[in-house]
Structure 1
Amino acid sequence: MKIATWNINSVRLREPLALRFLREHAPDVLALQEIKCTNDQFPAKGFAKAGYVHQAVSGQKANHGVAVVSRLPIKDFKIDAFCRESHCRHLRVLFENGLELNDFYVPAGGDIPDPALNPKFDHKLDFLARLEKEFKKRKDGKVAPVVLLGDLNVAPLENDVWSHKQMLRVVSHTPVETKLLAAAYAAYDWADVTRTLVPPDKKIYSWWSYRAADWEASDRGRRLDHIWVSPALRGQIRSQQIVKKMRGWEKCSDHVPVIAEIDFP
């Protein structure tokens, strides 16, 4: 089973890029974040024509929003009241083959890493804390086939950013964020697909700022996009890929897709 996640940063604007990605990489499932449209505005017909007829969408006018398009049948999906601000940031999808997929778009958190001064950062910390509580209360961690993926907006490890020392005071790599994400990771004994196959001493990123004059030359990236699997799937991980070349596509998102292949069912 080939699963991909991508913060598309407007699905209507980048539908042609998404369809090109699907043609070139042919995942069974594509989870999207920051779709920036309401459910009725989602380009469902385009994805269905490409073979992704099974869809789950939680959209929101102008901002946020998550969606899953699939070639595999979806049994059910749930839009959880997960975000305290009532943003559309989470979809729980159950496939007919028994796999559960959780698509998350964690708040970015603004620019000031102080919850007292920055309500957006306070919101982000609250969201990450809720993420831990959600899976800590579940008792099926060792047996349930569950995938958690999306734009988690945290680069947790030293080599998930271009400069650990310089990024410690920058939102997405501050100690309070990485600590909260680590707690959420431990709560369900997740396995990080990328870091299972890519050693922690190797730098690897999935996001490069639009602000860089030459993103590729400077290569000041961050690994903000993740795919985690539950213990039941830990031994089933077969491959991972971060599609860096897509950052160079015309009018691309500042994020690129992350792909995982697992043996399931």
Structure 2
Amino acid sequence: MKYNDLNLKEWKKIDINTDSLWIINERDKSGKHKNIYHGNFVPQIPNELIRRYTKEKETILEPFMGSGTTLFECERLHRKYIGFDINQNMIDYVHSSMKDGLTTYPDYYIENANSLNNKLIEKHINLASQQFHQSEKVQFVLMHPPYMDIVKFTDNHNDLSQIDDVELFLKKFKNICTNFLQYLENDRYFAVVIGDVYKNSEVIPLGFYCMDMIQKNFNVKLKGTIVKNIEGNRGKQGSGGIWRYRALNSDYYIFKHEYIFVFKKVK
């Protein structure tokens, strides 16, 4: 496994989840992880993916940084990190968090940027590469975009969370994939964490639409379709009875899943 540091001679001791169903009952709250941002994902997701698909000192690229969950895992796992977010408040928060306590692995570069702006992303990835003394290529890309306008993170019109139309969302997300996947080395991996949405009294399978868009427009192989439960969903904590009543009083099912699509970039 040239793309990770796993010691397969002791494979029975490796705690990497290789199943396509991930049951995560509780969010990891250790270290710098705090559940302060509606829409952030559990740290166990980047932790699993980073250990499975990268080696120490390799570089992770992320177009939707959010509150820094992936960066904090990169620090813990000794990976370099390049991240962007359209929300300046999150950039400030993450900078502050990284200065809070001992930073054991300081090779990171974060910037407030519109991930749709190819020239701006190119500029900052070039600057990050100079800082890291490496080429512009990275070894893993992790994308956790907004699920359309379910949660509006900013009022910036370039923010994907402002989009309520599926076709427009897919068009914009395709542009972001183009902007970022060009920096991923061939034969390396990227993942998209995405959920479905419920609009106009019906389920919109946004996750599968995104998967289909990527397969049709990029040279990739789909390596995994993982279903992750969201038992600890912040919006439903402590109110399971109410949501169950609402579901029984109507005709829908309560969302407790997200998808993690793992792709391999091929030549």
TM over 0.5: no
TM-score (norm 2): 0.42
Task: Decide which structure has the larger Cα Rg and report it.
Answer: 2
Q: Which is richer in helix?
A: 2
TM-score by length of 1: 0.42
